[in-house]
Amino acid sequence: MARKGKLLILSGPSAVGKGTVIDALMGKYQDIAYSISVTTRQPRPGERDGIDYFFVSKEKFSEMIENNELIEWAKVHGNYYGTPKSYVEETLNTEQDVILEIDIQGAAQVKEKYEYGVFVFLAPPSLKELESRIYKRGTDSQESIEVRMENASKEMKKVEDYDYIIVNDEIEKAVKKLKAIIIAERCKVD
Amino acid sequence: MARKGKLLILSGPSAVGKGTVIDALMGKYQDIAYSISVTTRQPRPGERDGIDYFFVSKEKFSEMIENNELIEWAKVHGNYYGTPKSYVEETLNTEQDVILEIDIQGAAQVKEKYEYGVFVFLAPPSLKELESRIYKRGTDSQESIEVRMENASKEMKKVEDYDYIIVNDEIEKAVKKLKAIIIAERCKVD
């Protein structure tokens, strides 16, 4: 069997800062490939199609599911999110490491198919802090915040299924830890 | 059970540079405790008693074995080396991480008693490179070099028993990788 790249999965509750940590990692290090997710949700201010996400219609998303083009997909807070399969598999086959940023449901699906993946749970310093971050982001209704918080509370228990946990108290520290995990995983004896 | 510190073991063939890597690590980071080994061999130029090793007589060493004061001990190239137990256990109990620098035989003994230890194999870029390092060190006779090389060739196969491998091609890179392993291990989900 040919040597393959490492598949890293960064997951954690909604609004914990997964995107910010990945952006900071990718800005600093160019030795890992980022798999862009596909979503049916509307772009938030500043988000760019083909860079932050591939923004698609519900029809297009359904088509991708039917054609088995997604590694995982999930409906989160009313919107669909998925990971295109071809990019991930082709990149791993070139011995390049790939990092995915996905929600907890999606990560569980990836674990079923890619048990050799490295699963990293990004945790908020506390649920209170998480709630305050969602408020500050200002893109969610009160009702939506309540749903997110309820989900987050359940999702925190899933940490047991992960290989690593990083508490996102400071972006820079979290990025340093994520980078350390990538370096260490590359040193693992198979 | 109380949370304990992590026990890291850096091992590898003789002359691969374990001591240099540990010195550089300890010089740069002060957040891990180094367990000083006890040995019956003569100090090399520059080595200091109680800092690089505890230099003791063969009689004293035998006494320590009899009193069960060593985690592991081994006879390597005609000299005895061992790891004092009290320091390691007391330090781990204070939740402080400890790093040991030991030969391959000693590491195998530690693995029997501390299976939760993190075992890191420091490898030379090649056996040819290792031989050239022993020559340059200039502290070994031709016969001693031959014995070391024969052992090293056997020891390289033990890498399978380790969690991580670091190829010591450049000290700075090796230290960075070792530090990354320490950080990553601290993020592990138990």
Kindly report the number of other CB atoms within 10 A of residue A116's CB atom.
Answer: 9
Three-state SS for B35-46 is: CCEEECCCCCCC
Pick B189's closest partner by Cβ from A159, A177, A185.
A159
Mutate to test the interface with B, among A118, A161, A189, A190 (most CBs of B within 10 A): A189
User: B183 lies in a domain?
Assistant: yes
Q: Does residue B126 fall inside a structural domain?
A: yes
Q: Are strands B33-34 and B37-39 parallel, antiparallel or unpaired?
A: unpaired
State the ipTM, two decimals: 0.87
The band of B3, judged by pLDDT with boundaries at 50, 70 and 90, is: low
134-173 of B, contacting A, C-beta below 8 A: 159-160, 162-166
Question: Minimal Cα distance from B178: which residue of A?
Answer: A184
- B1 in any annotated domain: no
Question: H or E element: which one contains B167?
Answer: strand B164-167
Report yes or no: B80 at the A interface, CB cutoff 8 Å.
no
Taking 3-state DSSP, the helix, strand and coil percentages for chain B, each rounded to the nearest 5, stand at 45, 20, 30
Q: How many domains does chain A have?
A: 1
* pLDDT surpassing 50 at residue B150: yes
Return the CATH number at B48.
Answer: 3.40.50.300
Q: How far is B184 from chain A (nearest CA, A)?
A: 5
Q: Is residue A59 part of a domain?
A: yes
Tell me the residue range of the domain where B50 lies: 7-187
**Residue A172: CB partners within 8 Å, gap ≥ 6?**
A24
Q: Is the pLDDT of residue B79 over 70?
A: yes
What 3-state class would DSSP assign to B157? helix
A179/chain B closest Cα distance in angstroms? 8
pLDDT exceeds 80 at position A3: no
Cα(B175)–Cα(B168) distance, integer angstroms: 9
Q: Residue B117 carries which DSSP code?
A: S
Per the structure block, which two tokens stand in for A166? 């990083």
Question: What was the pLDDT predicted at A135?
Answer: 84
Q: Is residue A37 part of a domain?
A: yes
Better pLDDT: B57 or A142? B57
In a domain, A95, yes or no: yes
User: pLDDT for A6-22, tens place per residue?
Assistant: 999 999 998 899 999 99
Q: Which residues 6+ apart lie within 8 Å of B153 measured at CB?
A: B127
Residue A1 lies in a domain: no
* Statement: residue A59 has pLDDT above 90: yes
Whether A2 is covered by a domain: the verdict is no
- Residue A133 has φ and ψ, to the nearest 5°, of -70, -40
Looking at residue B1, its pLDDT comes to 43
pLDDT of A64 above 90: yes
Mean pLDDT of chain B: 92
Question: Which pLDDT score, from 0 to 100, does residue A117 have?
Answer: 96
